[in-house]
Each structure stands twice: as C-alpha cells, then as structure tokens.
Chain A
Amino acid sequence: GAGVSQTPSNKVTEKGKYVELRCDPISGHTALYWYRQSLGQGPEFLIYFQGTGAADDSGLPNDRFFAVRPEGSVSTLKIQRTERGDSAVYLCASSLTGQGATGYTFGSGTRLTVV
C-alpha cells in the first residue's frame, strides 16, 4: 500500500482480555517498529523487526506483550491479560532498511482503551 496501515484504529477491551493489533507496512520495507504513546507523552520504542525476526525487543514492558512478523511483512502486537495501564496509542512504523530514521513512515496508530 501507499502508507503504513494499522487496524483497528480504535479498540476498547475489558481488563484481563487478550488483544491483537495489526500493522501492514509499506511494501518492500524490511524494517518494522512498534512504539507506544501514552497520553501527553512522546512515543516510546517497543520492538524492532528486521525481516521476520525481532532484532530488538528491549522496549516491551513485560511478558504480557509479544509481537510477531511471520512472513516479514504484516506484524501483530499481542497483549495478554490487559491492564488499564496498557491504554495508549500503539504506533507502527516501517522503513526500507534499519539504519537511521530519515525513512521511517508511521501509521495512524491504534488507540487501545482498557476499561
């Protein structure tokens, strides 16, 4: 596609439930990133994929968070046993390579609300 697509755009879930957030990067972009933006804050890095593998998952806050990119294109961020503190906008970005950020394209994000 022309840009990075994220679905759903909004997700409301109950505390304790499982959610999946999807990111469809720009075709041909090998690098894919997930960031989390809490209210009133700047985005914070979660995980970086180069191809199918997670090259850096140091930003994932705990083991309830997991992300996959099985075919090197679409990625899914999975959150188990959601907590109210997980409420945020989850942003995905992709780039042609993994070096530098001049070529990052961000999606519009998924706003997750845990009630």
Chain B
Amino acid sequence: GEDVEQSLFLSVREGDSSVINCTYTDSSSTYLYWYKQEPGAGLQLLTYIFSNMDMKQDQRLTVLLNKKDKHLSLRIADTQTGDSAIYFCAEIMDSSYKLIFGSGTRLLVRP
C-alpha cells in the first residue's frame, strides 16, 4: 500500500544545515517531491527527483534518494528564519497524477 512517513518536528539554529527525512513504502514511485507550506498559504513545490536519480542539488537544497531503503531526504544549507515552515514529502506513481503526501515536518529556525 501507499504510505509516506516523516518525523513531526525539527528545530535548528539559523545558519546551520537542516535535514528532513522521509520514508515511503511503494517501490513503484516515479517522482518524489518536497513541498513547503507556510501559514495560510498553499503548497509550494521546492524540488523533485526522478526515481532513477540518487541526488539532486538546487542552490541551497540537496535531495538524496536511497531507493533500496525507500528513504528520501532534503538538506537545506545555511538555514534562514524564512525557511521556517512545514515541509511535506510526496510521491507519485508511474503515469499517475495522484500525489501521496506524508504528514509533514515542522521546521523551526531559531535566530
């Protein structure tokens, strides 16, 4: 079945790196995503990775995918207070349109 799990909360100091982890159960996932949600706002797509890739880097963001362990992580370098938000990982199956989301990780960046 489809299940995406994340830890609930992460607190870091401004300027440090943040690592948010996610595990998923369905090996037929094609794309895996990281979304950011700020209070009162919709979901903002941060980055995504295709399932045949191990790593993707986009400015301060690094996504690592361990397909064997079904583990996805998002590293944010030089974390800023504006990065405080809830981060969701999500997966999508081959030729599908339906996003399966985790419960979200609340990131708090302390000054």
Contact = CB atoms under 8 A, between A and B. Distances in A.
Interface of A: 4, 31, 33, 35, 40-45, 48, 56, 59, 91, 93, 95, 98-102, 104, 106-109
A84 to B, nearest CB: 21
- Size bracket, chain B contacts: 20 to 34
Contact of B92 (A44, A56, A101): A101
B24 interface: no
Interface of B: 4, 30-31, 33, 40-45, 48, 88, 90, 92, 95, 97-104
A102 B90 contact: no
Majority DSSP secondary structure for residues of B touching A = strand
A42 B31 contact: no
By secondary structure, the A interface counts as loop
B99 A40 contact: no
Contacts of B4: 42
Nearest to B30: A100
Most buried by B among A42, A56, A107: A42
A59 B88 CA distance: 19
A61 to B, nearest CB: 15
B90 A108 contact: no
A101 B104 contact: no
A99 B90 contact: no
